[in-house]
Structure 1
């Protein structure tokens, strides 16, 4: 209780000026809550914080976060940490845990402006939940231009030519979000359906067979089911590149074991390269000035380690760099992964995108035992895999806590192991969840024979013709007009208006068959957006930025 009280007292210091009720006491009361909060924000913004003040805020938050995580782990509340990382998987590890520490009952959080867009108003007197927000910026330096041999390039007068070098850097500032319970619906405004993440997952129509198929489909290596004589529930064979799962187990145990072994394959497997489509590696004889020595470009991680080990450490410092190809702000630029004999974990962890990137986290995990920056025992691998299995299972409504946390406990050497591995656990869990959901969505479209925008439009148009919920067929609007308007909405990515229409049918308790068909169409629309529309939008974005 003392730790919690100290945490709350420290958090109050960070939240100075954010208590809307206190700010209101110093100003004339206003009628509308929105006007009140806007005025309070003006009061807060009068004093523009200096760089040192912002850094101090971030440092204080980091210290409180570290203390809070330590308290949860030491008090056997590791399950709550993972549960929270599932519920707020769109946020970084630090932010999702920070949300839990400040408001343990939070279910759905968003910034103030997002709640406004959802026609909800933050209640007077509510304090914002502190999060860390990355701020990207470029730093320009002038350096001497070097030729291919590493010598300075001179102008006609014999002076060194300078060139501008731009570095992409990231710093952090304090931001705020509010939980749904801290907001109220604005009267007379459209009400959006809002549910906690855990409840949303309950609505996904999936059976054991569908999940089994999806988990097998997304596996990076073949999965077979055999009777394992040793009594093991499953294993990943890195030498023969396969997963074996014991036959005859319960459905829940089978699914959990498959996820556990696939986690091993993804982050501990060394003999398959499909992960590295989004990342490449170079080995440099001189990591700082590559022109001064040999460079081995676009090699596999295994080759990179081998070549790096054969380079003699003379006056030059060798190294291994990586380059992301993921379309992010950090893509197509070189970042050091190993300098000399040191794995650059601390430097990488300063950049949130690298902490959240599965490709970067896998590379770090593969290199840990080779460079000895962290004691890397088999226990660490098992803690990673079982924690990932728990988080992925939890996301899909499967409770494996009785088994998972007993299993983690048998391998746990010390609490430091848990804290060191939260990033790779989060990144891998997110990747597996996204892959499984994509597979499930593809299955929904396959079952409903939807391969194009026209197919989706025909499904909705057919629903209109069959059930005619609001007598549209008797109105002046023709069936052709309905089809064209639906197709136009889909082409413009205005799926929201179609879903609102279908939800209205469900909310008004029309005949049972019509409501069921409307629910089925919403499920198809959601799958259609993820499988067909989003990739189109992403490709368009890449094209517009000149990536393709």
Structure 2
């Protein structure tokens, strides 16, 4: 649903006659009050916690989010959550933030000679006029919801294990920080109380050795923030002057945000810094420094995460090579240990290697373990017994550190993760996500028709594309479309729609009705929309109850620019959905919806022989029809699996086999 637009005209806001401008005014006042509240150390800490999750929002919107819901961790609009396979739960109150909504206006200006720079005169000696288009900045209030207010498919979490004194995780983090640091990092014994420092002359970072892991990581991030923000030559070139306390607080603010994002608690150390800085600061300076912390922390989180992912990928590739070599060594040992037995049981050595490798990847090593242990216990030659024990140790180590998904990850990297096609005057875009396959269908004018997320059940993206083409009737000749081009044109179309909506005159609340042969799947069978309730009842009566596509029904479509605008079932079969509708306070109190239900109840009493007393045979037939639909859907799923198998076969046929930290 498009958000409402608000034009900040002073006269309208002053007299309070424009409700939309009043709402924007209240939001801005809330923003200013929220910043004032942040002058206490406790409020600043809440902001920094918020920033660790919302670092891509502007400082104003970050403060708005924190002021309205300090516990928010991830927010998005209805459309955003839909794209993630989730939905906003009924009755949830949204968070209001400010979004740009610029408009274009045509104005006449005097025509200027490009060569002389002078005004061009017409035959009458008057300045010639030319019409130009100017972009006027405007803003609107939009509604977003925190992840706690939604349900549906689980969201992917940051794939970083919480630091818990494990050396592997700690060293990965330290290596990642070294990679994002613009200067070398070394450890040393530092005199005094300092835990680390960024040396402006030597251009290096020195960290106190022997500290706890969390303190070491926090201090490293703090000093890297100094190196990013407070390089002497860079500040001199930019004409920036900051006092020592501001520098320390910016660095500690960044350290707190980044550490919080990676679930490292540094509050006992960071809070005193932040609290002392909040005393006596002007509002303008506060907001300017907060923005610096927000932008810097966001960039550092991204870069550290990227380095951690690179390290993990390198580890996966190395582990895959180790498993390959281990499988070959075990196979060779089996040949040397009992050559005759090996030749009798293994026709092809390469096949034997693959069998061992597959068992290690799957973690099914019980038989291999028992065989190696038996060999180690019974071999007479000491060197052969030691070789068996060494293979056994390598086998146990490989199973502990490898999962099937990690090892096979590299094999899937060459498969496409997104595609776009044009067919039958429509466009289809599909991309692979952690939730499954996200798809969108556009018409010939690049307006979105439909979309959703399909669960990943092992099906290839090409099979998903083919299935969606059949579902949406894209049966004509198809050809690939450049994805960047499609996304750019779609974005331009959406921006044009936003600009057009800005000038749309809002109409009073409106409700219309639709009739569907299949209430559960309206796209199947007979369907009528944009009806009055009387018209809907006429169409409803004409649809036989024994149609093959399911139980017929009547629904309403509400158009009132609210969060609940859209379609909802009103009558399914012969059951008015009052029990469900009245559980939603907004619908329960809406006069148009309640009036429609009242009219349906009167209609049922007057026509009890037509609706209330439907025969059991008719209802049973309708349900059978619905089952046949589900049967077809199940058959479609089997077809998809067959396509998947064929595609996998084709794919297989095409496939080719710094300063050290102390």
Return the TM-score normalized by structure 1.
Answer: 0.52
Shift in Å, 1:426: 0.1
**Is residue 496 of structure 1 aligned with residue 414 of structure 2?**
no
C-alpha distance 170-219 of structure 1, shift in aligned 2 (>3 A): farther
Shift in Å, 1:50: 5.7
Aligned to 2:204: 242
Aligned to 2:293: 425
CA distance in 2, matches of 1:497, 1:82: 28
In structure 1, the residue corresponding to 2:207 is in which secondary structure? strand
**Is residue 227 of structure 1 aligned with residue 227 of structure 2?**
no
User: How do 1:86-165 and structure 2 match up within 5 A?
Assistant: 86-137=52-103, 142=109, 145=112, 151-152=117-118
In structure 2, the residue corresponding to 1:407 is in which secondary structure? helix
User: How do 1:403-422 and structure 2 match up within 5 A?
Assistant: 403-416=269-282, 417-422=285-290
Aligned to 2:311: 443
CA distance in 1, matches of 2:32, 2:155: 31
- The higher radius of gyration belongs to 2
Shift in Å, 1:247: 2.5
Shift in Å, 1:405: 1.0
CA distance in 1, matches of 2:411, 2:229: 48
Contact 1:224 1:243 in 2 (8 A): yes
**Is residue 269 of structure 1 aligned with residue 206 of structure 2?**
no
Contact 2:104 2:136 in 1 (8 A): yes
Shift in Å, 1:179: 2.6
Aligned to 1:193: 154
Shift in Å, 1:423: 0.7
Aligned to 1:380: 246
In structure 2, the residue corresponding to 1:76 is in which secondary structure? helix
Shift in Å, 1:131: 1.1
CA distance in 1, matches of 2:99, 2:174: 38
C-alpha distance 422-49 of structure 1, shift in aligned 2 (>3 A): closer
Deviations 1:510-531 (CA, angstroms, capped at 9, x unpaired)? xxxxxxxxxxxxxxxxxxxxxx
Shift in Å, 1:124: 3.5
Contact 2:186 2:205 in 1 (8 A): yes
Shift in Å, 1:392: 0.6
CA distance in 1, matches of 2:236, 2:162: 43
Shift in Å, 1:384: 0.9
CA distance in 1, matches of 2:100, 2:211: 45
Aligned to 2:39: 73
Deviations 1:454-473 (CA, angstroms, capped at 9, x unpaired)? xxxxxxxx99x94899xxxx
Contact 1:234 1:243 in 2 (8 A): yes
C-alpha distance 173-412 of structure 1, shift in aligned 2 (>3 A): closer
Contact 1:238 1:271 in 2 (8 A): no
Contact 2:253 2:274 in 1 (8 A): yes
In structure 1, the residue corresponding to 2:197 is in which secondary structure? strand
Aligned to 1:17: none
C-alpha distance 140-497 of structure 1, shift in aligned 2 (>3 A): same
Contact 2:68 2:95 in 1 (8 A): yes
Contact 2:55 2:295 in 1 (8 A): no
CA distance in 1, matches of 2:412, 2:177: 38
Flag structure 2 segments of 5+ consecutive residues without an equivalent: 10-17, 319-353, 363-409, 420-429, 438-453, 459-481, 492-662
User: How do 1:343-358 and structure 2 match up within 5 A?
Assistant: none
Contact 1:123 1:182 in 2 (8 A): yes
C-alpha distance 70-125 of structure 1, shift in aligned 2 (>3 A): same
Aligned to 1:20: none
Shift in Å, 1:502: 11
Aligned to 1:254: 216
User: How do 1:533-548 and structure 2 match up within 5 A?
Assistant: none
Flag structure 1 segments of 5+ consecutive residues without an equivalent: 1-37, 186-191, 273-300, 304-365, 370-375, 451-461, 470-482, 506-535
Moved over 6 A (4+): 155-167, 203-206, 483-486, 497-505, 536-542
C-alpha distance 128-262 of structure 1, shift in aligned 2 (>3 A): same
Shift in Å, 1:106: 3.1
Contact 1:245 1:254 in 2 (8 A): yes
Shift in Å, 1:261: 1.3
CA distance in 2, matches of 1:247, 1:486: 40
Contact 2:184 2:205 in 1 (8 A): yes
Contact 1:145 1:160 in 2 (8 A): no
Shift in Å, 1:429: 0.4
C-alpha distance 155-270 of structure 1, shift in aligned 2 (>3 A): farther
C-alpha distance 399-159 of structure 1, shift in aligned 2 (>3 A): same
Aligned to 2:172: 210
C-alpha distance 271-145 of structure 1, shift in aligned 2 (>3 A): farther
Return the TM-score normalized by structure 2.
Answer: 0.44
CA distance in 2, matches of 1:125, 1:263: 42
CA distance in 2, matches of 1:251, 1:203: 12
The alignment of Structure 1 onto Structure 2 pairs a total of residues equal to 342
Of residues 57, 60, 65, the one that matches 2:23 is 57
C-alpha distance 541-234 of structure 1, shift in aligned 2 (>3 A): farther
Contact 2:85 2:435 in 1 (8 A): no
Contact 1:143 1:165 in 2 (8 A): no
Contact 1:256 1:400 in 2 (8 A): yes
Shift in Å, 1:402: 0.1
Of residues 180, 200, 210, the one that matches 2:147 is 180
CA distance in 2, matches of 1:448, 1:229: 41
C-alpha distance 156-104 of structure 1, shift in aligned 2 (>3 A): closer
Aligned to 2:649: none
CA distance in 1, matches of 2:41, 2:262: 27
Deviations 1:105-147 (CA, angstroms, capped at 9, x unpaired)? 4343221223334454434333221111122455666466476
Deviations 1:59-106 (CA, angstroms, capped at 9, x unpaired)? 321211221232243263321111111122332222233223223343
C-alpha distance 184-249 of structure 1, shift in aligned 2 (>3 A): closer
